[in-house]
Every structure is written in C-alpha cells, then in structure tokens.
Amino acid sequence: MGSAEQAFHTALPMILVTGGAGFIGANFVLDWLAASSEPVVNLDKLTYAGNLHNLDSVQGDARHIFVQGDIGDTALVARLLAEHKPRAVVNFAAESHVDRSIHGPEDFIQTNIVGSFRLLEAVRAYWSALPEGERAAFRFLHVSTDEVYGSLAPTDPAFAETRGFEPNSPYSASKAASDHLVRAWHHTYGLPVLTTNCSNNYGPYHFPEKLIPLMIVNALAGKNLPVYGDGMQVRDWLYVKDHCSAIRRVLEAGAPGETYNVGGWNEKPNIEIVNMVCSLLDELRPRADGQSYKAQITYVKDRPGHDRRYAIDARKIERELGWKPAETFDTGIRKTVQWYLDHADWVASVQTGAYRDWVQTQYAQEASAAAVTGATA
C-alpha cells in the first residue's frame, strides 16, 4: 500500500471484519459497503467456506481492503490493527459446520478456541494503547450461534440469553468456549465486547453443504435430497441479511458486555424446509419430466448427537435495540431459491474436488449407494 493510500485509509474511521469471505461475513461486508462509506479491512483465511467470489461485486472498491490470513496469526493481526486503526472488530471467523466437526474436530479447536484467544489478545493490546476517547468508543463484536445452548424438547421455551450452555457437538463446544473467552476478556480486562448468538442462517452465498443450498443444488442436478433421520429436527431460520442488520444494530447501540440472541421467529422441521424448497423449484424451474422435486427426497441415517430442536427468543434485541427481522420465511426462502437459480456460475465455482470429496465422506456412509448425493458435479 502506498503512503497516500495508507494515509487515506488510516485517516478515516473503519472497521476490521474477520471471516469476511464466508457466508455470513461476506453478506455483512457487502451490505455494510452498500449502506455506508466507512471502509472495511477484511481478514479471511480462505479455507473451504471462505470464497473470494463472494466479494466479486466489491473488487476494486477502495473501501474494501482484503487480507488473506489467520486470526491466530498474532503478528499479522497486530500489524493490521496498528496500520488501519479500526474503531471496531467484528469477528465472524470460525469453522462452522457440525458434520465437519464430527469428522475432524481439531480444526475447530484451533480456529474457534485458540484463534479466538489470540485475536482477543491482539485486540486487547491495541485497545489498551488507544487514546481515552477512542478506547471508550471501541467495540469487539463476537458472532456466535444458538447451538451453544444445546437442544430443546418440543415444549421447552425458546433459548433466552440467560440460558446456560449445553453444547453437544465439537463445533458447538468450540463456539461456547470462544463465547466464554469473550465474556472473560470483558470482565477481567474491561474489553468492550458484544456477543450475538444467532439461529440458522440461510440466503445468498451459502456454501452448499448446509441444508437449504444442498437441497437446491442437488435438486437441480437430479440427485437425491438427503434428509437426516425422520426429518423432524426443528430449527429457527434467519435470513442472512436480517442477521447482518441485527449485527449492525448491536454494533451501533449494544451495551458492552451484553449478549443478544438473534432469531427469525421461524421454527420449522427440516422436512418442511425441504418440501418448501421443492415446491418453489417446481414453480420456478420445473423438472423436464413434470414430476415434483419431492420425488428426489431420500431419508438417510441420522448424524451422531443430532440436536432435535433449536429456537431463539429474540425479544431482548427487539425490546432494547428496536431490531426485528424484515423477512418472513416465505419471503426469505423465495429470494434464496431465486438467487441460486440466478447464480449457477457461483455454485459451479464452489463445487471443487475438495467440496465433492467432503459431501461424499459425509453422506456415503449414511446412505445407500443410490443416495450418495454430491459426489459428482
């Protein structure tokens, strides 16, 4: 970076986003730059779910400074903080797929626990040296998941911020650990942190290993649609752009040390989601043979420790910060299916050999040979 460009960037308020090439992080960066003139430094390791194609629309935008790197690289993070002097850090960086955590938990421990610790320490050193006014205004916003709370029985009340942690997978355990670290850095060192715990996100740029994009992509490819167990696992679904607006609101007005649950008020069993996707595809991109995509649904063996129900009580963020989702599930899922139909090039670009190998590893052992889903592109 030249001295003039560096002066431009360091003279302006800006934020540092980690994990900003992943699904939620990229949507956050794109929405931020669409609504604000404030620049973003975007640090992403570009592992399997981080995809620079997610950021094609801001390529060449001087307000977006992309850096490939790891939140666990203390020297790199310290250099970026010193050079760009962000007024806030928004931490999306995480390994984030339950099934992957079951097959290989090591990466989740390293990124979600050790990486979060190193990021917190680098940020604490930077924050401690800021002038008093900037130090008081600084925020570290940690983006987390409702899975830290464990599983709910059908009649249990939804997860409130006061619920204790009962994580059941290596992924959720690693995220719970990072949430605890963030809380401790606030209570021990005074770091002005904010934490959000969200329900299941869906929408544009969602890597096609997760339920909704996998169903869309497999349906269009004529493959089976694998549904775990009886398909009655219940999740609360949150359109990703609603999640991003909640994060912006928490960053703007949240109280340091507080946690805010972010949900979409859309509790639905997985099989209902799959049927809705099929119905939308029947309408928007009918099969050549006139049959419904529902004919491709295949039930596969349930995954180990599969939580039956998650549900978010999002009343606190509405009551204290005036936020609530703009999309219903009906409007959000229609936008999502249409986005995938309109962006077949993006889907093709993420379906690399490594992606196909992963899908085969996950489902081949749980389905009959006929139900191996994404093993070929």
As annotated, the active-site residues are: 146-147, 171
User: Which tokens in the block code for residue 147?
Assistant: 């899975």
Task: Compute the distance between CA of residue 196 and CA of residue 245 in angstroms, rounded to an integer.
Answer: 12
Backbone phi, then psi, for 145, in 5-degree steps?
Answer: -130, 155
**Tokens 């049927």 belong to which residue?**
275
User: Which tokens in the block code for residue 115?
Assistant: 């990486």
User: Which tokens in the block code for residue 100?
Assistant: 């992957």
Contact 124, 190 (CB under 8 A): no
- Overall residue count recorded for the chain in this entry: 377
129-135: long-range contacts, CB 8 A cutoff, minimum separation 24: 134/87
Please choose, from the candidates 150, 152, 148, 139, the residue with its C-alpha nearest in 3D space to the C-alpha of residue 174: 148
Task: Compute the distance between CA of residue 88 and CA of residue 349 in angstroms, rounded to an integer.
Answer: 32
Contact 120, 93 (CB under 8 A): no
Q: Which residues have a Cβ under 8 Å from the Cβ of 22 and sit 6 or more positions away?
A: 44, 49, 50, 51, 54, 92, 93, 96, 207
267-297 b/e (C-beta count within 10 Å ≥ 16 → b): bbbbbebbbbbbebbbeeeebeeeeebeebb
